[in-house]
Structure 1
């Protein structure tokens, strides 16, 4: 009976969020859009455009803009940004090769690049916390309340959607 009472108490604490540190953490891979077209459909419905210097969407060609294997939360993040800012959003970089490697990279579905414009620039710099300069390229970084990082590179905004993973 004592064992049952202990289990019941632990279950109550866990349900209340007070025992989370004692529970093992499980990290699942983020949900992905398997194809460019599946993600593009969501963007199109939200009024978000995209462009590529190669006028293509092949993930293996660095002059294309591809959404193949992009995280669903990344697409949701850029849609939320458009809705909140009410700015025109044009994506110029997705999951295609040619970007910097790393866990939270374009290739792994965590990043998009968008064209700068006065509306987006003002929204990011006026609503997000300045977070210093990024090592390597010295880009100014701004952090959203959700923890996402908007870095102003030379020709675009490089946006990293951590999706609650950090």
Structure 2
């Protein structure tokens, strides 16, 4: 990883801008490290517990790529029992068409391999919104693939109650539409809320 900072230009800056845009930075990927990129880097660093020096060094690169500031912070994976216990204690429910939790059955809702950060994000959403939350999709097979996917523990689906929908659309920034037409809302933390036809698809990046 090449360390870049304000005043730098080139492909490494483009890579940093691309990564920052995953967290809702909205930067032009032009390879020029100017005031705008500097401000977004510092904001990202602050939100991830890093020194907000505007320098994209090894620790900041790691956080940009993994969504974690290092160590086990946010990156740990939970078992079904651990996640279920956490959600139950927070008053979060879940359901599936198959009434099961088998990760290898697409009719189930599984939490096996869910990232700690995603589980914590759901609990935070519950507390902040004061809405009833029901999870309809977890880490089970059958969802779209990719690095930040359900299978890899980054996503949860929620029933689109009026309370939750009003909270998301009224609190977070509308950030366009996804390729499939889903309306996107991005939280300051970088988490992305996509309104699919039957649920809210939430990507917990932090």
Structure 1 position 21, deviation (Å): 3.4
1:64 aligned residue (86, 90, 108): 108
Higher-Rg structure is: 1
How has the CA–CA distance of structure 1 residues 17 and 60 changed in structure 2, closer, same or farther, with 3 Å as cutoff? same
Inter-partner Cα distance in structure 1 for 2:168 and 2:148: 20
TM-score by length of 1: 0.83
How has the CA–CA distance of structure 1 residues 22 and 159 changed in structure 2, closer, same or farther, with 3 Å as cutoff? closer
Aligned length: 147
2:56 aligned residue (21, 39, 48): 21
Secondary structure of residue in 2 paired with 1:131:
strand
Q: Who is 1:142 aligned against? A: 185
Secondary structure of residue in 1 paired with 2:153:
coil
2:76 aligned residue (15, 27, 31): 31
Runs of 5+ consecutive residues of structure 2 not aligned to the other structure: 1-49
Q: What CA deviation, in whole Å up to 9, does each residue of 1:91-138 have, x standing for no partner?
A: 000000000000000000000000011100100000000010001x10
2:123 aligned residue (41, 61, 79): 79
* Equivalence map 1:1-166=2 (5 Å): 18=53, 21-23=56-58, 25-26=61-62, 30-33=75-78, 35-135=79-179, 137-163=180-206
How has the CA–CA distance of structure 1 residues 130 and 41 changed in structure 2, closer, same or farther, with 3 Å as cutoff? same
Inter-partner Cα distance in structure 2 for 1:161 and 1:18: 25
Inter-partner Cα distance in structure 2 for 1:97 and 1:103: 14
Structure 1 position 145, deviation (Å): 1.3
Runs of 5+ consecutive residues of structure 1 not aligned to the other structure: 1-14
How has the CA–CA distance of structure 1 residues 41 and 124 changed in structure 2, closer, same or farther, with 3 Å as cutoff? same
TM-score by length of 2: 0.67
